[in-house]
């Protein structure tokens, strides 16, 4: 009988590709989320999708339902893909099953996730990071107002870059209200190309690594096309991932990097979870085994894209920016990360999920990106051990 693996955050296309890789490697993947996660639910190649309560909105029900799910499935590993990792790992620690959760230990996970602590960690490890200052009140913010053009301001806990202020005007900076409970950082501005890398690590050793950039992004900065970087830059970035892996230990780590005009890469922030980099491993059995600590995996060389976003966002962008030829080339030469051969259902699922999140955004007055994560996100306060 195949060993079972539970993948949480099923709303993410990354979870879908992780499930496909694990199935190719001979495991029995199961997925879970507190949203309908139609992108996975309509897939023929992922696995059963289980529903649970939101860890943010209904923490007690979340704990009860996740415990029940783990008891029924008895998975050999639990692979979080989104910020539910913080809530899930706290529960696992309380239950004495932290060794099953594929994530760094709690204190290290928080250090990687918090932008100020991550910058300090990079400094200790000798990794290149822009000068970074933590801001917890208006006085500290105003002290930097005269240098705003040389800085980037953003909350310590944030996602998708939606609240990031790059060289803000005085009026934009005046609207920021940092506090000890909701701190911000000011980071020296680096002008250059934004790229990312994703690494799988086991006991401090990297077993899978890829580095990629994107020429197609949403307004908040999230990419929907993933282009492997040239080998020479990949070689430069991998030692950074290896240094961070020695700190993280076991789990997935993904970083955003800016490459300046001199070709120098600067680490900006980190996500201790899955990201879109998983798509570059082309759903391979090798990647599934690498996730389980049973081998290494190398990424593919072709670009990947999210086809619904390429049509809904990429086509209007291509028409307005005169990039129609590049858009056609991506659609023809790149590979879709959503659909798979014999498995077109996730495209409809992705559209259904997008519509549901859009309705939630309208109903709650949030932005679309905020609505997509509000029920699972973690913003710094310690997650208590569920009773």
Tens of pLDDT along 196-239?
A: 999 999 999 999 999 999 999 887 678 999 999 999 999 999 99
- Whether residue 116 lies inside any domain: the answer is no
Question: Domain end: 64, 86, 103, which one?
Answer: 103
Q: Do residues 154 and 166 lie in contact, with contact meaning Cβ atoms separated by under 8 Å?
A: no
Q: Return the beta strands (E) in 72-141 as ranges.
A: 77-80, 132-135
Q: Read off the CATH number of the domain in which 320 is found.
A: 3.30.470.20
- Whether residue 261 lies inside any domain: the answer is yes
Within this chain, do residues 141 and 166 fall inside the same structural domain, yes or no?
A: yes
Q: pLDDT value at position 143?
A: 87
- Whether residue 312 lies inside any domain: the answer is yes
Alpha-carbon dihedral sign for residues 127, 130, 131, 135: negative
Q: Which parts of the chain sit beneath pLDDT 70?
A: 161, 220, 381-387
- Alpha helices (runs of H) in 126-230, residue ranges in sequence order: 138-143, 170-174
Tens of pLDDT along 71-108?
A: 999 999 999 999 999 899 889 988 888 899 999 988 89
Instruction: State the DSSP string of 233-255.
Output: HHHHHHHHHHHHHHHH-SEEEEE
- Whether residue 123 lies inside any domain: the answer is no
Within this chain, do residues 280 and 303 fall inside the same structural domain, yes or no?
A: yes
Percentages helix, strand, coil for the chain (3-state, rounded to 5) are 40, 20, 35
Which residues contact residue 385 at a Cβ distance below 8 angstroms, ignoring those fewer than 6 apart?
A: 90, 91, 93, 94
- Whether residue 382 lies inside any domain: the answer is no
Within this chain, do residues 230 and 324 fall inside the same structural domain, yes or no?
A: yes
Within this chain, do residues 215 and 181 fall inside the same structural domain, yes or no?
A: no
- Whether residue 351 lies inside any domain: the answer is no
Q: pLDDT value at position 159?
A: 76
Within this chain, do residues 152 and 99 fall inside the same structural domain, yes or no?
A: no
- Whether residue 373 lies inside any domain: the answer is no
- Whether residue 376 lies inside any domain: the answer is no
Within this chain, do residues 170 and 201 fall inside the same structural domain, yes or no?
A: no
Number of compact structural domains in the chain: 3
The vertex-246 CA angle with 287 and 210, nearest 5°, equals: 35
Within this chain, do residues 166 and 275 fall inside the same structural domain, yes or no?
A: no
Within this chain, do residues 315 and 298 fall inside the same structural domain, yes or no?
A: yes
Q: pLDDT value at position 381?
A: 63
Question: Domain end: 328, 343, 358, which one?
Answer: 343
Range of the domain at 57: 4-103
Q: How far is Cα 292 from Cα 106, in angstroms, rounded to an integer?
A: 20
**Average confidence score pLDDT of the chain:** 92
Element (H, E) at 49: strand 49-51
Within this chain, do residues 273 and 311 fall inside the same structural domain, yes or no?
A: yes
Within this chain, do residues 213 and 321 fall inside the same structural domain, yes or no?
A: yes
Percent of the chain clearing pLDDT 70 (strictly above): 98
Within this chain, do residues 79 and 16 fall inside the same structural domain, yes or no?
A: yes
Q: Read off the CATH number of the domain in which 39 is found.
A: 3.40.50.20
Tens of pLDDT along 358-374?
A: 999 999 888 888 888 88
Within this chain, do residues 175 and 142 fall inside the same structural domain, yes or no?
A: yes
């Amino acid at each position: 009988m195949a060993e079972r693996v539970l993948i949480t955050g099923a709303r993410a296309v990354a979870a879908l590709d992780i499930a496909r890789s694990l199935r190719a490697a001979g495991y029995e993947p199961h997925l879970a989320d507190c949203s309908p996660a139609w992108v996975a639910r309509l897939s023929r190649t992922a696995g059963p999708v289980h529903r649970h309560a939101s860890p943010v909105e209904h923490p007690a029900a979340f704990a009860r339902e996740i415990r029940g799910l783990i008891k029924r499935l008895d998975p050999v590993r639990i692979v979080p893909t989104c910020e539910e990792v913080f809530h899930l790992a706290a529960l696992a620690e309380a239950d004495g099953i932290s060794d099953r959760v594929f994530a760094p230990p709690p204190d290290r996970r928080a250090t990687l996730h918090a932008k100020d602590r991550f910058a300090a960690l990079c400094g200790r490890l000798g990794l290149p990071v822009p000068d970074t200052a933590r801001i917890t009140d208006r006085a500290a913010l105003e002290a930097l107002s005269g240098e705003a053009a040389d800085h980037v301001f953003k909350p310590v806990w944030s996602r998708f870059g939606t609240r990031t202020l790059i060289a803000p005007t005085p009026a934009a900076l005046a609207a920021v209200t940092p506090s000890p409970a909701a701190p911000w950082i000011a980071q020296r501005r680096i002008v250059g190309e934004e790229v990312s890398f994703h690494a799988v690590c086991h006991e401090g050793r990297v077993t899978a690594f890829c580095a990629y950039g994107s020429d197609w992004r949403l307004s908040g900065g999230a990419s929907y096309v993933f282009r492997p970087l040239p080998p020479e830059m990949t070689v430069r970035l991998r030692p950074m991932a290896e240094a961070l892996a020695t700190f993280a230990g076991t789990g997935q780590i993904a970083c955003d990097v800016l490459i300046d005009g001199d070709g120098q890469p600067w680490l900006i922030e980190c996500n201790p979870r899955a990201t879109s980099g998983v798509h570059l491993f082309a759903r391979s059995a090798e990647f599934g085994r690498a996730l389980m600590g049973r081998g290494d995996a190398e990424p593919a060389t072709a670009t990947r894209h999210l086809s619904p976003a390429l049509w809904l966002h990429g086509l209007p962008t291509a028409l307005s920016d005169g990039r129609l030829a590049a858009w056609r080339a991506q659609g023809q030469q790149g590979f879709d990360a959503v659909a798979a051969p014999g498995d077109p259902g996730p495209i409809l699922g992705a559209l259904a999920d997008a519509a549901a999140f859009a309705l939630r955004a309208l109903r709650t007055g949030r932005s679309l990106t905020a609505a997509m994560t509000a029920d699972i996100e973690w913003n710094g306060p310690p997650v208590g051990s569920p009773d």
